[in-house]
Amino acid sequence: MTSTASAPGLDDAEAAARLARDGPNELPRPPRRSVARRVVTQLTDPLVLVLLVVATVTTAIGDHTDTAVVLLVVLGNTTVGVIQEIRADRSVEALDRLGAARARVRRGGSVRTVPAREVVPGDVLVVGAGDVLAADGTVAWGESLQLDEAAITGESLPVEAHRPGTAVLSGSVVTRGRGEVVVEATGPASAMGRIAEGLVRTRSRRTPLQRQLAVLGRRLALVTVVLCAVVFVLGLARGESPVLMLVAAMSLAVAAVPESLPIVVTLGLALGARRMAARNAVARSLPAVETLGAVTLLATDKTGTLTEGRLRVAETWTDREHDLDELVRAAVLCNDAPADPGGDASSPGTDPLETALVDWAREQGVDVTEVRRRHPRRGALPFDALRRRMTTWHDDGTGGVLAAGKGAPETVLPPPGVSARADRARAWADDAAGRGLRVLVVVTGHRRAEPAAGDAEQDLDLVGVVALQDLPRPAARGALDGCRRAGIRPVVLTGDHPGTAATVAGQVGLVGHGEPVRVATVDEDDDHPDDHPDDHPDRHPDRLLDADVVARCRPERKLELVAGWQARGEVVAMTGDGVNDGPALRRADIGVAMGRRGTEVARQAADLVLADDDLNTVVAAVDEGRRIHTNVRRFLAYALAGGLAEVLVMLAGPVIGVALPLLPAQILWINLLTHGLPGVAFGTEPSEPGAMAAPPRRPGASVLAGGLWLAVLLVGATVAALTVAALVLVGEPDPRSVAFLTLGLGQLGVAVGLRARRPPRTTRAPGPDWLLIAVAGAVVAQLAAVTVPPLTTLLRTTTPTPTGLAAAIAGAVLAGLVARWIARPRVAEKESS
């Protein structure tokens, strides 16, 4: 089953030449949208179309100043829209690059990891368990090489591929063994490329929040249009000219509809994803960024996540003479790790447990290469997580066959009570597991002839037990603490022994101080690997779903548990890197893979890749996710309160005897000013102190939940009342200009009032306060609108008296204070109320 004939591979110059000639190994992408196309999309937005109608009307009646203002607004909106869109797209592309597939190739005599897109025909791919083939090719050599081609051919049974010359397809997953593949076809010419052809990859997958906002936006638009119609009718009743009222009503509609909601969310998510990447958390999609903030349960694996993942033999048990020699010999024979000292332990397909056994044998003075040469392997039943054991058979040197096996105690030892000796070994193993060690029972047997695969594991003789140590990771403790504080329940899912798992869980502080670790072990009776999790939603024993540690948990079981938690309403993040973890990672709301240690198949199934393999990074990513959600609520409160204030002022006008409290151009100006810069700047607000000490938001809750909509009504009404007061009470020669100033400054006051609470100055992270900068810019523009020609001409304003100015400023301050008292606590409080 083995044949080794390493292909030499290409040199760098040749690889570069071929890359230039054959093109990158990636699926054809839809071409980037040109700026011209983006502008056209912006201009065909229904609200812009309304504005263009307004412009036509004003031109027709010879009102050229209003036409100029409308066109200015269209220009401003389009520019801001296009720039926001391009920024969001760039961020998404950068994410794509960070999360891109990788491949190991032999180039210029050494093996290195390159982006999969740089693989060219003639390259030699070096693959091991957990890799995803980056291109089509033929096997140069393979050792127990087995592939899962389900993604390409739909064939669900793994295929053997160790024979040289076997044709293999891109997108296949290496489920076992290792080998090398000479690349023949890449990119569109490969199997993956042929499948992808015809499928246009669209980027338009919207996140739940974006969908929620789209619905909200449509409803608000409807209400606004109705209210604008009322404004129109009231104006007519007051004797205003129909044309003027039509223009006013349309402008009001444009201003009050929060049309920028979706793009502000996209931009917020994209910015958030960039900040996450800076904290080593690569989100592979925008929906993931959003979901992260809502995570309620974190299911983690053990080895390499809670522990260092560097195993070392710590103790052994034998009870007969010569058994120690036999133990060492069996441990290196029933073993796929390379024999050479300093062999690359992290090389693909090498199990750190097996490497630890080889290292241990070498420390015992055993020449591993020599042992393996004396006993060439004849056959094997490889290890898999399902059977939890492995058996190989070899020439015994005297014409017979030597079988060697190792595995978990309960799969290798006879049941309790059958053999006193086996019971002693089991007791020792349980004790070692209770001290956090990973245990492995070793057995051997002598045969006259090669066994049939079916009975290779019959009648093997107990040799001894090996206990391996894997130190807990110090960093894990902080991460688990952080989870619990943030209301996220951490759970360990492991294939390991319950004793080992419980002890390690205790060592890293999985549960709070003094609490017992609730351990549940999956029974064979619980296992129905062929069923689909959704077929039996009630078949997840609560015993397993309630546990802190689920031991002896096979990958299929992980999938069922994730589904079971989700049925209980949890939002599940799950870490995993096993070859078979893909489906569970995909099923989880947030699949998490390790960037360094993890397998390629896990990376590609994951929503979040941790560049530093540190569980703390998940907590940091959740923090970012929550911050983004809070900032969306912040922006929403601001935009809706502003729109509401504008509508209320226009409705109140006729009632108090002012037919048209604000001119169309003035409404549009305020809209441009308040939504342009400050709107985007909300995305840069920091997370509030204590954000990670609050429970997660309720999954599926409205984005306005927690009384935020009520706060919007109150703040909107306040700004409107202040504006109306300025209109009637100040006694200015030109009350409209004061009202215009008050409405604009009032909304900006609300923006400042909604700013995130900051931690004490000393701990504050440096960085510009974009929201304040944006508001300051807008304040200057708004003051200019009533002082500087030609703006005053265009907007038909006059400079208010000092009293009027003071009144407007006082109104803005008051509006800000009301927003701070009423709306800000509800923004951050989340939906816990």
Ligand X SMILES: Nc1ncnc2c1ncn2[C@@H]1O[C@H](COP(=O)(O)OP(=O)(O)OP(=O)(O)O)[C@@H](O)[C@H]1O
Question: What positions carry a catalytic annotation?
Answer: 301
The 300-339 contact track toward ligand X, x by CB under 6 A, reads -xxx------------------------------------
Contact 628, 283 (CB under 8 A): no
Does residue 353 belong to the site contacting ligand X (CB under 6 A)? yes
Structure tokens at 826: 């509800």
Instruction: Kindly state the smallest distance separating residue 593's Cβ from ligand X, in Å.
Output: 13
Please say which residue, 301 or 688, places its beta carbon nearer to ligand X: 301
Instruction: Kindly state the smallest distance separating residue 553's Cβ from ligand X, in Å.
Output: 7
Please say which residue, 527 or 829, places its beta carbon nearer to ligand X: 527
Residue of 388, 394, 627, 736 that binds ligand X (CB under 6 A): 388
Residue of 290, 323, 354, 831 that binds ligand X (CB under 6 A): 354
Instruction: Kindly state the smallest distance separating residue 495's Cβ from ligand X, in Å.
Output: 3
- Cβ neighbors of 347 (< 8 A, separation 6 or more) are 128, 178, 338
Helix axes 323-333, 352-363, angle to 10 degrees: 140
Please say which residue, 470 or 624, places its beta carbon nearer to ligand X: 470
Grouping H, G, I as helix, E, B as strand and the rest as coil, residue 644 is helix
The site for ligand X, by CB under 6 A, has a size of 21
Instruction: Kindly state the smallest distance separating residue 447's Cβ from ligand X, in Å.
Output: 20
Amino acid (one-letter) located at 735: P
> How far apart, in Å, do the first and last CA atoms of the chain sit?
64
Q: Which of 178, 122, 113, 103 is nearest to 8 (CA)?
A: 122
With left for phi above 0 and alpha for psi between -120 and 50, is residue 827 left, alpha or beta? alpha
Amino acid (one-letter) located at 172: S
Structure tokens at 406: 């190792």
C-beta atoms surrounding 193 within 10 Å: 20
Residue of 54, 257, 283, 390 that binds ligand X (CB under 6 A): 390
Residue of 141, 232, 383, 740 that binds ligand X (CB under 6 A): 383
Does residue 495 belong to the site contacting ligand X (CB under 6 A)? yes
Does residue 246 belong to the site contacting ligand X (CB under 6 A)? no
Contact 501, 302 (CB under 8 A): yes
Please say which residue, 18 or 497, places its beta carbon nearer to ligand X: 497
Closest-approach residue to ligand X (CB): 495
Instruction: Kindly state the smallest distance separating residue 530's Cβ from ligand X, in Å.
Output: 19
Amino acid (one-letter) located at 200: V
Please say which residue, 249 or 433, places its beta carbon nearer to ligand X: 433
Distances (CA, A) of 251 to 55, 82, 144, 228: 10, 22, 71, 9
What span, in angstroms and rounded, lies between the C-alpha atoms of 123 and 137?
Answer: 9
Does residue 359 belong to the site contacting ligand X (CB under 6 A)? no
Which one of the spans 320-328, 491-499, 750-758, 792-800 is the region binding ligand X (CB under 6 A)? 491-499
Q: Which of 533, 47, 622 is nearest to 279 (CA)?
A: 622
Does residue 573 belong to the site contacting ligand X (CB under 6 A)? no
Does residue 136 belong to the site contacting ligand X (CB under 6 A)? no
Touching ligand X, residues 78-117 (CB under 6 A)? none
Q: What are the φ and ψ backbone dihedral angles of 58, each rounded to 5 degrees?
A: -65, -35
Structure tokens at 339: 């024999």
Which one of the spans 187-195, 252-260, 295-303, 523-531 is the region binding ligand X (CB under 6 A)? 295-303
Contact 186, 22 (CB under 8 A): yes
Instruction: Kindly state the smallest distance separating residue 337's Cβ from ligand X, in Å.
Output: 9
Please say which residue, 598 or 643, places its beta carbon nearer to ligand X: 598
Please say which residue, 94 or 385, places its beta carbon nearer to ligand X: 385
Q: Which residues of 541-577 are buried (b: 16+ CB within 10 A; e: fewer)?
A: eeebbebbbbbbbbbbbbbbbbbbbbeeebbbbbbbb
Instruction: Kindly state the smallest distance separating residue 135's Cβ from ligand X, in Å.
Output: 29
Q: What is the DSSP letter of 421?
A: H
Residue where the block lists tokens 């076992």: 176
Instruction: Kindly state the smallest distance separating residue 191's Cβ from ligand X, in Å.
Output: 30
Residue of 408, 660, 703, 721 that binds ligand X (CB under 6 A): 408
Which one of the spans 225-233, 386-394, 566-574, 784-792 is the region binding ligand X (CB under 6 A)? 386-394
Please say which residue, 390 or 774, places its beta carbon nearer to ligand X: 390
Does residue 385 belong to the site contacting ligand X (CB under 6 A)? yes
Which one of the spans 272-280, 317-325, 383-391, 683-691 is the region binding ligand X (CB under 6 A)? 383-391
Residue of 496, 548, 556, 607 that binds ligand X (CB under 6 A): 496
Touching ligand X, residues 427-466 (CB under 6 A)? 438, 440
Structure tokens at 229: 């119609």
Which one of the spans 211-219, 262-270, 346-354, 602-610 is the region binding ligand X (CB under 6 A)? 346-354
What span, in angstroms and rounded, lies between the C-alpha atoms of 252 and 231?
Answer: 9
What span, in angstroms and rounded, lies between the C-alpha atoms of 740 and 756?
Answer: 27
Please say which residue, 175 or 684, places its beta carbon nearer to ligand X: 175
Please say which residue, 432 or 692, places its beta carbon nearer to ligand X: 432
Structure tokens at 801: 């008296």
With left for phi above 0 and alpha for psi between -120 and 50, is residue 399 left, alpha or beta? left
Concatenated DSSP letters of 756-812: PPPPPGGGPPPS--HHHHHHHHHHHHHHHHTTSTTHHHHHT--PPPHHHHHHHHHHH
Does residue 557 belong to the site contacting ligand X (CB under 6 A)? no
In terms of DSSP H, where are the helices of 155-202? 191-196
Contact 692, 485 (CB under 8 A): yes
Instruction: Kindly state the smallest distance separating residue 577's Cβ from ligand X, in Å.
Output: 8
Instruction: Kindly state the smallest distance separating residue 357's Cβ from ligand X, in Å.
Output: 8
Grouping H, G, I as helix, E, B as strand and the rest as coil, residue 183 is strand
Which one of the spans 141-149, 313-321, 488-496, 566-574 is the region binding ligand X (CB under 6 A)? 488-496
In terms of DSSP H, where are the helices of 44-63? 46-60
Which one of the spans 36-44, 404-412, 622-630, 723-731 is the region binding ligand X (CB under 6 A)? 404-412
Which one of the spans 117-125, 242-250, 406-414, 776-784 is the region binding ligand X (CB under 6 A)? 406-414
Q: Which of 25, 12, 19, 1 is nearest to 139 (CA)?
A: 1
Please say which residue, 495 or 654, places its beta carbon nearer to ligand X: 495
What span, in angstroms and rounded, lies between the C-alpha atoms of 528 and 635?
Answer: 48
Does residue 389 belong to the site contacting ligand X (CB under 6 A)? yes
Structure tokens at 184: 């023949």
Chain contacts with ligand X (rule: CB under 6 A): 301-303, 351, 353-354, 383, 385, 388-390, 406-408, 438, 440, 494-497, 578
